[in-house]
Amino acid sequence: MPELKPLWEIQVLDGQRRALEIKLREGQMSRDLKDLKNDIEQGRAVFNKLKERYRSLKKDLKTKEMDASSVTEQAQSLGQKLYGGMITNVKEISTSSKKLDSLKSMVNRTEEEILDLMENEEEIRAKLEEMRAKLNSKAENYRKMYGSYLANQQNVRHQLAQIPLLRQKLLDKLDVDLWNKYFEMKKKYNDPLARMEKGTCMGCRMGITFNDMRLLKQAEGLVYCSNCGRILYWER
């Protein structure tokens, strides 16, 4: 009976190669990285939008402060004229008094608006600092994960590079007729060779007949699973 162990080891290597190729192409780490990258990009978009609002708010605040300063100067100047005896005409005094009251009301409203803007500015600034800290943390986590991902991918490539040499060494030990038979059966089965464990064919998970068990133990030729048709391999 031809030696099946090298053939079994080739089949195991082929399975490892397929698994490594899938891992290289569609690794879980890659999906995690993509999700984290999207999360960071979305977070930055929200951060930049809020930052733009913060800048606009600071601009509005500066404008309001300049308005308040200008109106306050006008009120002070008019008050000095009104109460310093520079305005003596009764009608002009009445008109100036009303204008001064209007200017003072305007100053009060503007100062209230400034306080509201300052409060909003402080809230947005605190929110920006919180968002910046979270984004920096996520970016650092991404860099670490990406580094690990690259190292893992490199390791996978290294393992894949070793398989052809190991496989060829095993092929050199194989009986040519056995390999041709195995290769022909791969048209039907992805893994034509099935290990026998505890009286069960691990290819189809069905029990092996008594006669097949006997033939395997006698080791006089290839034994096929009577259920799925795979070549049975029993490691003594």
Strand partners, 197: 200
What is the model's pTM?
0.58
C-alpha distances (whole Å) from 223 to each of 6, 23, 57, 195 are 17, 34, 83, 11
**CB proximity list for 117: less than 8 A, separation 6 or greater:** 57, 60, 61, 64
Strand partners, 233: 195
Residue boundaries of the structural domains of the chain = 5-171, 176-233
**What CATH architecture applies to the domain 5-171?**
Orthogonal Bundle (1.10)
Q: Which of 16, 207, 170 is nearest to 232 (CA)?
A: 207
Distance of CA 227 to the CA centre of its chain: 46
pLDDT tens-digit series, residues 53-110:
999 999 999 999 999 999 999 999 989 988 888 877 888 889 989 999 999 999 999 9
Phi, psi of 45, deg, nearest 5: -65, -45
